[in-house]
Amino acid sequence: MAENLKTTHYRNGDMVANVVDSKDWDELFSGAWCDINNHSPNAAVFGHLYNWYALNDARGLCPAGWRIPTDDDWTVMAEFLGGEQVSGGKLKETDTLYWHSPNTGATNVTGFTGLPGGSRQKDGPFWYFGYYGLWWTSTEENSEFAFYRSMSYDNTALFSNHFRKNCGLAVRCIKDNL
């Protein structure tokens, strides 16, 4: 998809819980979403942040014919773009309207238009808004952590790391060619 997911429903029509309270967010082991800084106008540009449980739900977070990319899917894309050390720049929006300066190496030659929506930490606070774009993968590390991909305002790399599953990150869906 050309932008971050903004859905509030699973594919079958069931609602995904909108959780704004930090204590409630911290205690979740089921799907939830929120807006960056719990400020609904942010969704128009950045989409929603989802915990990993929402994207791993059997009801499906992506529309029919789409799926959450695996960490390997991101690796294939990064390799196609010249490797992980340069692919982040090729995926980032080019200006500093949303990214903090200097937005190093941003060319957006892919049209991905990666934005720095930051994250919601497991215990509720919002971090990295304007500095990092972070997207979930469907790949688990273990029962507590899953992999994500990120881009930074001061680097051209596409990073791979893991977060606790009850953190909130952006989601992109890809066409399901399986």
pLDDT tens profile 49-88 = 999 999 999 999 999 999 999 999 999 999 999 999 999 9
Residue 2 lies in a domain: no
Determine how many CB atoms are found less than 10 A away from the CB of residue 48.
24
Tally of domains in the chain = 1
In percent, the amount of the chain with pLDDT more than 90 equals 96
In a domain, 123, yes or no: yes
146 falls within a domain: yes
Its pTM stands at 0.96
- What is the tens place of the pLDDT at every residue in 147-174? 999 999 999 999 999 999 999 999 999 9
Asked if 32 and 51 touch (Cβ cutoff 8 Å), the reply is: yes
How far the first Cα of the chain sits from its last, in Å, is: 17
Per the structure, the complete domain to which residue 155 belongs is given by 17-175
Contact 70, 139 (CB under 8 A): yes
- pLDDT at 129 (0 to 100): 96
Q: Does residue 90 fall inside a structural domain? A: yes
Question: Which uninterrupted H or E stretch holds 44?
Answer: helix 42-46
One-letter amino acid for residue 131 of the chain: Y
**CA-only gyration radius of the chain, Å:** 15
The residue type of 161 is N
Q: Burial-class residue 101 by CB neighbours within 10 Å (0-12, 13-18, 19+).
A: exposed
